Each structure stands twice: as structure tokens, then as C-alpha cells.
């Protein structure tokens, strides 16, 4: 799995702080920009988050390039609706002979018999796909032979509010392992560029109660120790 931060709003923390400060200031924008030191910016961001004034976080966005993931992952990812997605198309891009890539879960890799059967069946599905193309079936229909394990690539853009929500849900211990792994990589990348904006960000239980109810993983203390920056 490869996750790369392709682009992001420059000065993201100052941008959010400016938006928040402007809402409560009688000054013009130039005056409002003055005095936005790192310390003051951190203070404003803390107040905005505490007060739930999160529309200000929507003024900055982050664009990720993601590859080496399965369509199992992307089926989950696109359920996060406040985002923009551009995914490699199986309708137009042919799964060439000898180049068909797929994701194998660790639980299958660790079981030799299961792994061998999995690889064997992936090869079969790809053979069925190539046979269909040879019979004149268009790629958009031949792809029906391809499994959810098929590797894909996708570019994702989220604003900071939507990204925070995504991270709170997908860093949860009960999230599916592949999308949780991707969320970890995304969090690491954005914290390098905007450490204050994503301070103490982790699964929802880090800053509140566990939303899983009776399905909780029971590791609240561990999660808070892992993701809390202070």
C-alpha cells in the first residue's frame, strides 16, 4: 500500500484560524490577519474545535494519491460522501496478462493452504477475464469476472472537517484492517503539514465516548495513550 500527500492548502492552520477569527471580529480581513502567531493560531483552533465551530475547517483540503489497495477498501472509502474521488477505471484500463495485481489479507497469507488456494483462484479469475476479452466481450463486461481483491488506484481530496470525521471512524479498532492501515498513513502525512489542526486526532473514543456501544473493542485507555499528543 502506498499513500502519498499530493497537495494541500498552503498555511492550512492559519487559514482555519483566520476564518474563525473573522466570524467574531469587526475588523477587515487585513487587520484580522495580523497577530496570527503560532501560539495564537493554536489557541483559536482549540476554541473552534471545543465549540464545534467546524465549518471553518472546511476551508482547507488535502489530496492523497493511493495505490496498492483493494476494491474492498475503495467500496468502503467512497461511503464518505464529502470528498472527491478519481479511481482507475476497470472499464477502460485492461488487466494485462502477467500484470494482474491483487491484495491478500494477512489472515490468508499466514495460512499456507488458504494462501495457495487464494492465489490459484485469483489466477483463474484473471484467466476467465482474459478469455472473455478474446471472445470479444468488452472490458466493461469482462470486469465482472474480477474479484474485490483486485488492486486499484485512487486520488482522494477531503477538506479538514471531512478528513477528521473519516479518521475518527476508520482509525477505530473495529474498522476493517485495510482501510484502518490507510487511515494511519493519512494521519501521519497530514500531521507533518498541520500538527495543530490534527492534534489529538484518532478514533472517536480518543476525545469522547466509544460510539460502538456493546461492540466496543474495550481498549479505550490504550487508544487514548496512542493518539493523544499531550
pLDDT in tens, 159-200: 999 999 999 999 999 999 999 999 999 999 999 999 999 999
> Per DSSP, what are the bridge partners of residue 164?
none
Alpha-carbon distance 136 to 139, whole Å? Answer: 9
The upper half-sphere exposure of residue 14, i.e. CA atoms within 13 Å in the direction of its Cβ, equals 12
Among the listed residues 205, 201, 190, 203, the one whose alpha carbon sits nearest the alpha carbon of residue 230: 201
Q: What is the pLDDT along the chain (230 residues), one digit of tens a residue?
A: 999 999 999 999 999 999 999 998 877 888 888 888 889 999 999 999 999 999 999 999 999 999 999 999 999 999 999 999 999 999 999 998 878 999 999 999 999 999 999 999 999 999 999 999 999 999 999 999 999 999 999 999 999 999 999 999 999 999 999 999 999 999 999 999 999 999 999 999 999 989 999 999 999 899 999 998 86
Residues of the chain with CATH 3.30.1360.170: 2-85+152-202
Among the listed residues 156, 202, 196, the one whose alpha carbon sits nearest the alpha carbon of residue 180: 202
**CATH class name, domain 2-85+152-202:** alpha beta
Among 81, 161, 170, 226, the one annotated catalytic: 170
Alpha-carbon distance 23 to 210, whole Å? Answer: 32
Residue 170: active-site member: yes
pLDDT at 100: 95
Asked whether 52 and 164 are in contact (CB, 8 A), the reply is no
pLDDT at 27: 77
pLDDT at 99: 87
Q: How many helices (H) and strands (E) does the chain have?
A: 10, 4
pLDDT at 30: 82
pLDDT at 230: 67
Among the listed residues 38, 36, 37, the one whose alpha carbon sits nearest the alpha carbon of residue 18: 36
Using alpha carbons only, give the angle 210, 57, 228 rounded to the nearest 5 degrees.
Answer: 40
Q: List, in sequence order, the alpha helices (H) in the chain.
A: 12-23, 29-33, 38-50, 71-77, 106-109, 112-134, 139-142, 160-170, 177-193, 220-227
Asked whether 17 and 45 are in contact (CB, 8 A), the reply is yes
pLDDT at 24: 87
Amino acid at each position: 500500500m502506498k499513500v502519498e500527500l499530493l497537495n494541500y492548502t498552503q498555511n492550512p492552520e492559519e487559514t482555519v484560524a483566520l476564518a474563525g477569527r473573522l466570524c467574531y471580529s469587526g475588523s477587515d480581513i487585513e487587520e484580522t490577519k495580523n497577530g496570527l502567531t503560532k501560539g495564537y493560531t493554536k489557541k483559536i483552533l482549540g476554541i473552534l474545535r471545543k465549540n464545534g465551530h467546524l465549518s471553518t475547517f472546511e476551508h482547507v483540503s488535502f489530496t492523497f494519491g493511493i495505490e496498492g489497495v483493494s476494491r474492498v477498501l475503495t467500496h468502503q472509502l467512497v461511503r464518505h460522501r464529502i470528498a472527491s474521488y478519481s479511481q482507475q477505471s476497470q472499464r477502460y484500463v485492461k488487466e494485462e496478462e502477467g500484470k494482474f495485481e491483487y491484495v491478500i489479507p494477512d489472515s490468508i497469507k499466514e495460512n499456507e493452504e488458504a494462501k495457495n488456494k487464494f492465489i490459484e483462484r485469483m489466477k483463474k479469475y484473471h484467466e476467465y477475464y482474459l478469455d472473455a476479452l478474446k471472445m470479444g466481450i468488452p472490458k466493461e463486461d469482462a470486469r465482472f469476472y474480477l474479484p474485490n481483491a483486485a488492486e486499484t488506484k485512487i486520488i482522494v481530496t477531503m477538506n479538514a472537517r471531512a478528513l477528521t470525521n473519516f479518521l475518527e471512524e476508520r482509525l477505530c479498532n473495529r474498522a476493517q484492517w485495510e482501510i484502518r492501515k490507510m487511515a494511519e498513513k493519512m494521519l501521519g502525512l497530514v500531521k507533518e503539514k498541520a500538527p495543530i489542526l490534527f492534534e489529538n486526532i484518532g478514533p472517536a473514543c480518543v476525545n469522547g465516548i466509544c460510539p460502538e456501544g456493546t461492540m466496543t473493542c474495550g481498549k479505550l485507555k490504550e487508544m487514548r495513550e496512542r493518539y493523544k499528543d499531550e
